[in-house]
Amino acid sequence: MNSKSDRLLFVVDHAGTILFAMEGAFAAIAGNLDFFGVMVVSFATALGGGVLRDVLIGATPPQAIRDWRYAVSAFATGGAVFILHQFAHQIPSQLLMILDAAGLALFAVAGTQKALGYGIPPFIAILMGTITGVGGGAIRDILLMHIPIILYTDIYAIAALIGSAAMVLGRRLGLHPALSAVLGGVVCFSLRVCAVWFHWNLPRASVP
């Protein structure tokens, strides 16, 4: 990977971190946490998925622990939302949803890529990509004592899963790794946005 694509990856990675930290801060403020609580939940939402992935694939210390810039991005965002949250609430929710879908796609693809690089089998690498995308939100929900929202509603985690699978499939079919990553990201993003727009949901078992 040349230094230009490294810089690009760094930019998009931090963009995802900032967006997820923002969502975490909103949830924490809605839960009436104090300043410290807002910072913790911002950090956990933004970086928890990647930390979980790195611990599971044996890439310790996790990237977000080794490189202090991730924590700074998460905390600065959390702090900004804490101060400005009355204005931040005025961001249109459709815009937030689209940015969130972009963050999900990015984290899923980056997580799959990293797991493959650590020699994890492709099927499990897809799961690791999914965890990277949704793990932070699940930790946020548990800290705030909600059942993780990904477990019972919406095409969210499944979009990350299918996007990761598309990326792995692309590589299997001989596509260039960068092209496979773009393919996976587009699949994940499109699925997520369409699911919201068209109110797609997964089936539930009818409890007798």
Site residues for a second copy per CB under 8 A: 28-38, 40-41, 51, 55-58, 60-62, 65-68, 71-72, 82, 85-86, 89, 118, 120-124, 127-128, 142-148, 150-153, 157-158, 161, 201-205, 207-208
**Which CB sits closer to a second copy, 38 or 46?**
38
Round to whole Å and give the CA distance between 156 and 166: 16
CA distances to 23, 33, 85, 151, 180 from 186, in Å: 22, 36, 31, 23, 10
**Which CB sits closer to a second copy, 179 or 202?**
202
End-to-end CA, the chain: 54
**Which CB sits closer to a second copy, 5 or 201?**
201
Structure tokens belonging to residue 169: 């499939």
Would you say 161 and 133 are in contact if contact means Cβ atoms under 8 Å apart? no
**Which CB sits closer to a second copy, 5 or 153?**
153
Shortest distance (Å) from residue 10 CB to a second copy: 17
Stated length of the chain = 208
97: left (phi over 0), alpha (psi -120 to 50) or beta: alpha
Structure tokens belonging to residue 157: 């985690």
Shortest distance (Å) from residue 181 CB to a second copy: 21
**Which CB sits closer to a second copy, 19 or 161?**
161
Residues 6 or more apart whose CB falls under 8 angstroms from that of 59 comprise 53, 114, 118
Shortest distance (Å) from residue 16 CB to a second copy: 19
Shortest distance (Å) from residue 178 CB to a second copy: 25
Shortest distance (Å) from residue 169 CB to a second copy: 15
